Amino acid sequence: MTHQRTLTAAHWGVYEVEYDDAGNATKLHPFSKDPDPSPIGLHMLSDEVSRLRVLRPSIRKSWLEKGPGANPELRGQEPFVEVPWDEALDLLAGELKRVKETYSNHAIFGGSYGWSSAGRFHHAQSQVKRFLNCYGGFVRHQDSYSLGAARVLMPHIAASMEELMAMHTRWDVLAKECKLFVTFGGVPHKNAQINAGGATLHHVKGGLYGMREAGVRFVNVTPTAEDLDNGGDVEWLAIRPNTDAALMLALCHTLLAENLHDRAFLDRYTVGFDKFAATLKGKDAAWAEKITGIPAHRIVTLAREMAATRTMLSIGWSLQRSHHGEQPFWALVTLACMLGQIGLPGGGFGVGYGPVNLMGSPHPRYSGPTLPQGSNPVPDFIPVARFTDMLLHPGERFDYNGKSHAYPDIRLVYWAGGNPYHHHQDLNRLRTAWRKPDTIVFHEQFWTPAAKMADFVLPATTSLERDDIGYGTREPYVIAMKKAREPIGESRDDYTIFNALAERLGVGAAHSEGRKTAQEWLEHLYEEARVKSAKAGVALPPYAEFWEAGIAEAKGESRDPVMLAAFRADPEKNKLKTPSGKFEIFSETIASFGYDDCPGHATWLEPIEWLGAKTAERYPLHMLSDQPADKLHSQLDHSPHSRATKIKGRQPITLHPDDATARGIAAGDLVRVFNDRGACLAAARLSDRIRRGVVRLSTGAWFDPADAGSNRPLEKHGNPNALTLDIGASKLSQGCIAQTCLVEIERYDGPAPVVTAHQLPAFAGR
């Protein structure tokens, strides 16, 4: 018997929801049209996932009994008290009013960094910003952990990351025209399972395999060969982490020294080349070999090969999540300009083929539904990765993108749709800073580490428990995400929660705009998007027809199959949005900022921690903390799919067999990973496809400190951010530097502490 099915969407794909005869959702199936579906979300209906749901509004015991700011050192340790919704909303509305009247809206931080939901209306980040803007504004974050350095740099020298990501040369064009594909940081298929707003058809595996079958040659410059699979041969250059900029400069040096650079392209499409060229003196292949570990002769021949054939350069986002992370991106653009192939089919550069499903998509670009957030009258902001600094150092000044700013004094943190105890670096330092606010509020679906550290936890619905619309940039389908089941416990969607608070605070009309239900908003937002899409040449059916069908195909022509082809064809008519309208190999703007850690041109600056540093004598392993293959960030870490990849209940850490042997470590052993900032337990996984002296501990294991009361506890679960460094990439961007981290590893022979990350918190009575 074939049961009824509807569709839903998540970041990692579209799923078909199967129902039993009684109308209960029983199983999720991969989208039948997807050539390479992701398995991550298939267990969203499982009992194991549901077990950790937040069922009722919960308030930390001390806060409930004593009020704001009571015993902040007990966050994460003492029990919660479950209360009725009306009581929780009354107390929270009163606290928002108190903070606003006592300290102003400049003391409210709207956290909400996270992916939260594929649905465009119930997108938690949009919801919390809309609500706080209606109530007078809030301190916001700028940029992202994923792209902190690149987001600030790239508009100065080329274009915004959003523009560049949406215009990447298509996979089919690469297969036909590209001859040499050189990637710095790989094209990790695991990362491309996702797309903001939801992936529908996954392209990356087919794109890479298609290129290899067409005869494209691949060179993968990375410490770990496991981050590129094309179904065939790949040349692996096992570079030292954080030294890619030095390699690119040496490639530029060879092009210049052997007159292989495209002077005509540089003259017409760039500014500042001669100033940059003067800085290349001494930065030859022999210089780069000492830094990178790549043989000088291979650097020279690679530069010649690039110049001799149609070459595409790609860069992984992980490279700019490092100290001086702007430099490899700037060096890549500079190298591509010297090769002169930007705007040609199969040539030029990409700011990451593989970090998300978007890049290389053959589908048209059009406008999807977007919830308006309103305007924020509070000008204060922080670069997102400076969250701990903000809490620890109110009033202290910081540099950012040419200006000086001051950290605000935050009294209330309002978070929805994210997990700072996943994203942030040096989590032991964050735990200290976490005591600063009077009140911390979370909307949460599950009892994550961050929820357990909050004062208010309000139960939020999942995407399976509400109606919404799934849409992602350059995805071919819009999905009617029809509610598959009733909310678990007393959970409510974010819009309903914020509406109730807005009514209590006297801004209900501004918040709802007269639309009380999600369906009213969905139709309004969809029809708005349909009008905009039509102007872009993409046709969508009327809302009623779309909702009835459950899916709509975005029909239209895929324009601009080659990135920056229009700019190459007419650089005057199609100027870049840089100060000069051209690529800025030397940026007078950045140079004018006077930053010693980010000059006006691409360079290599020694990181604070790397394998060539003095610190490596004590901590001789460079730890990479990449994105996990079994989840998005830390989402669904408690699902059967994620837990099946763990070893002895811990996150696996990959190390070279020689490094393991030197430490008496065998595959599957429990190990302690440590440095001066902290320590965590993980389980050894051995591979000869990682460079000696490098280890890889993927992010996403829920933070699980053994002693919640100590300053530097042993993290039991394998969360690398117990060890990572929390300083800015540079004064320009203040981006995170998670990939700049030295550690040591030893076999852990003591009794293994129980992993408690996936346990419910304690609850108490009144």
Angle between helices 494-504 and 85-103 (to 10 degrees): 60
Among the listed residues 442, 582, 470, the one whose alpha carbon sits nearest the alpha carbon of residue 157: 582
Verify whether residue 495 is a known catalytic residue: no
What single string gives the DSSP state of each residue in 161-201? HHHHHHTPPPHHHHHHH-SEEEEES---TTGGG--TT--SS
Amino acid at 340: G
Would you state the structure tokens that stand for residue 755, as one six-digit string? Answer: 């992993």
Would you state the structure tokens that stand for residue 586, as one six-digit string? Answer: 């030397």
Would you state the structure tokens that stand for residue 77, as one six-digit string? Answer: 């340790």
Verify whether residue 113 is a known catalytic residue: yes
Hey, is 285 helix, strand or coil?
helix
Q: How far apart are CA 295 and CA 239, in angstroms?
A: 10
What residues in the chain have per-residue pLDDT under 50?
A: 1
Only one residue has tokens 């100290």, namely 323
Total count of residues recorded for the chain = 766
Strand ranges across the sheet with 80-82: 80-82, 58-60, 456-459, 439-444, 412-416, 108-110
DSSP code, position 348: E
pLDDT value of position 115: 63
Only one residue has tokens 């949460």, namely 444
Q: Report which secondary-structure segment, H or E, holds 522.
A: helix 518-535
pLDDT value of position 766: 86
pLDDT value of position 114: 65
Only one residue has tokens 């000044």, namely 397
Hey, is 374 helix, strand or coil?
coil
Q: How far apart are CA 192 and CA 12, in angstroms?
A: 8
Rg (CA), the chain: 26
Catalytic residue among 12, 15, 63, 113: 113
Give pLDDT tens digits for 620-672.
999 999 999 999 889 999 999 999 999 999 999 999 999 999 999 999 999 99
Amino acid at 688: D
Q: How far apart are CA 683 and CA 653, in angstroms?
A: 6
Among the listed residues 492, 469, 464, the one whose alpha carbon sits nearest the alpha carbon of residue 479: 469
Amino acid at 374: G
Only one residue has tokens 């600030």, namely 152
Only one residue has tokens 């054939």, namely 309
DSSP code, position 707: -
Task: Answer for the pair 555, 546: CB distance below 8 angstroms, yes or no.
Answer: no
Q: Give me the domains of the chain, ranges plus CATH numbers.
A: 58-73+80-143+380-470+483-512 (3.40.50.740), 148-364+566-593 (3.40.228.10), 614-747 (2.40.40.20)
pLDDT value of position 67: 98
- If phi over 0 gives left and psi between -120 and 50 gives alpha, with beta otherwise, what is residue 546? alpha
Q: How far apart are CA 369 and CA 532, in angstroms?
A: 10
Only one residue has tokens 């080349």, namely 273
628-694-387 Cα angle (round to 5): 55
Among the listed residues 431, 413, 411, the one whose alpha carbon sits nearest the alpha carbon of residue 421: 431
Helix, strand, coil share of the chain (percent; to 5):
35, 20, 50
Amino acid at 539: A
Task: Answer for the pair 302, 219: CB distance below 8 angstroms, yes or no.
Answer: yes
Q: How far apart are CA 241 and CA 223, in angstroms?
A: 6
Contact partners, residue 190, CB within 8 Å, separation at least 6: 627, 628, 629
Amino acid at 455: D
- What is the bridge-based pairing of β-strands 13-19 and 5-10? antiparallel
Catalytic residue among 63, 115, 145, 521: 115
For the entire predicted model, the pTM comes to: 0.97
